[in-house]
Amino acid sequence: MLRYTINRLLATIPVMGFVALFVFSLLYISPGDPAAVIAGDIATEQDIAAIRAQLGLDQPYLVRFGGWLADLARGDLGTSIFTRLPVATLIGQRIEPTLALTLCTLIVAVGLAVPLGVLAAARAGGWIDRFVMALSVLGFSVPVFVIAYGLIFFFSVWLEWLPVQGYTSLSEGFVPFIRHMILPSVALGLVYMALIARITRATMLDVLAQDYVRTATAKGLAPGTVLIRHALKNAAVPIVTVIGIGVALLIGGVVVTETVFAIPGLGRLTVDAILRRDYPIIQGVTLLFSAVYVIVNLLVDLSYSLFDPRIRY
């Protein structure tokens, strides 16, 4: 497994290189000029040209890409065009809320979706099954921001149970932290939960129809033992796979969720950078999200052997 892990880690280098090329090229050809935004509405063409030269935006594509790639190889993500702060510093300042939202969403989504999917498969055709399927359809059909605004209206505006927006660090107390995390975690987790619950149900239905499950039931084992030790363990590989794939949905949903709930995380940082055409921030955050997605999928691949001993690397 060690050799496989090393090879997979080395394989991420060209993947991240392609992502870097794609991100830089996409921003290079995208409309909009950060120099014009910095200069303002009353600036002349000479003022805009001077700002472009100062920022290096007037250089050819290959020169700009080569310089950016060389800085990236040294661990330098660049400097923000507007704040003139290092991108790594800005990411470090914003990463805590995003990490907290992501972890809380994973706990909510996985902690509810897997048991619901197992129960739906065990009671196929019953009211639990229909409830889980209806919840899955709702999660897939309704956008994240609609769910978020609905939760805000019901729990914050009407019932006044939870705060509308904002973020409180865990260092300031667990109760204020969790109060600010409940609504965004549920809003983002519903979409993720819908995907996991559907796959869990479908996989469990297939496993429950296998001969060894019927044999375990015929031997008189408790239904819970059959579901967890025999069925769920053998259905774990597809479930873990879809959890890893769903990280892409989670990353995309973080941007929308942080914007709706005014959470000062990487999502808000990305939105602000896009509006201001702050290319270094967009590139740095995109590369970070891509690296996280690649690492998560590597961990998912490595976990297969834990659930299925027949898988060897």
| Residue 82 forms part of a structural domain | no
Residue that has been written with the tokens 């939870």 in this structure: 162
CATH number at residue 269: 1.10.3720.10
Task: Mark whether 207 and 287 lie in a shared domain.
Answer: yes
CA quadruple 302, 306, 308, 310: dihedral, nearest 10:
80
- Write down the pLDDT at residue 38: 65
| Residue 129 forms part of a structural domain | yes
Query: What's the rounded Cα separation, in Å, for the pair 178 and 174?
Result: 6
| Residue 141 forms part of a structural domain | yes
Task: Mark whether 63 and 183 lie in a shared domain.
Answer: no
Tokens of 46: 């000479």
DSSP conformation class of 170: G
Task: Mark whether 136 and 257 lie in a shared domain.
Answer: yes
Which of 136, 149, 258 is CA-nearest to residue 197? 136
Task: Mark whether 35 and 131 lie in a shared domain.
Answer: no
| Residue 87 forms part of a structural domain | no
What is the H or E stretch that residue 67 is in?
helix 61-73
Query: What's the rounded Cα separation, in Å, for the pair 289 and 19?
Result: 11
Contact (Cβ atoms closer than 8 angstroms) between residue 202 and residue 93:
no
Contacting residues for 131 by C-beta, under 8 A, at least 6 apart = 120
Count of residues in the chain: 313
Instruction: Note down pLDDT in tens along the chain; length 313 residues.
Output: 677 677 777 777 788 778 878 877 776 676 666 666 666 666 677 767 776 776 666 677 777 777 777 877 787 787 887 787 888 888 888 888 888 888 888 888 888 888 888 888 888 778 888 888 887 777 777 888 888 888 898 888 888 888 888 888 888 888 888 988 889 998 888 888 888 888 888 888 888 777 777 777 777 777 777 777 777 777 778 888 888 877 777 877 888 888 888 888 888 888 888 877 777 888 888 888 888 888 888 888 777 777 766 666 5
Helix, coil or strand: residue 86: strand
Task: Mark whether 169 and 52 lie in a shared domain.
Answer: no
Residue 239: exposure state from Cβ atoms within 10 A (0-12, 13-18, ≥19) = buried
Helix, coil or strand: residue 79: strand
Task: Mark whether 65 and 134 lie in a shared domain.
Answer: no
Residue that has been written with the tokens 């099954």 in this structure: 129
Task: Mark whether 290 and 184 lie in a shared domain.
Answer: yes
| Residue 4 forms part of a structural domain | no
CA distances to 116, 128, 229, 309 from 119, in Å: 5, 7, 15, 26
| Residue 3 forms part of a structural domain | no
Task: Mark whether 109 and 155 lie in a shared domain.
Answer: yes
Task: Mark whether 33 and 117 lie in a shared domain.
Answer: no
- Write down the pLDDT at residue 197: 86
Task: Mark whether 49 and 116 lie in a shared domain.
Answer: no
| Residue 313 forms part of a structural domain | no
Query: What's the rounded Cα separation, in Å, for the pair 242 and 149?
Result: 27
Which of 7, 18, 43, 6 is CA-nearest to residue 291? 18
Task: Mark whether 65 and 188 lie in a shared domain.
Answer: no
pTM above threshold 0.75: yes
Domain containing residue 119 = 94-307
Query: What's the rounded Cα separation, in Å, for the pair 133 and 116?
Result: 10
Query: What's the rounded Cα separation, in Å, for the pair 63 and 75?
Result: 19
Task: Mark whether 48 and 165 lie in a shared domain.
Answer: no
Residue that has been written with the tokens 């990487």 in this structure: 266
Residue 211: exposure state from Cβ atoms within 10 A (0-12, 13-18, ≥19) = exposed
| Residue 191 forms part of a structural domain | yes
Our count of domains for the chain comes to 2
Amino acid at 130: R
Tokens of 285: 């955050």
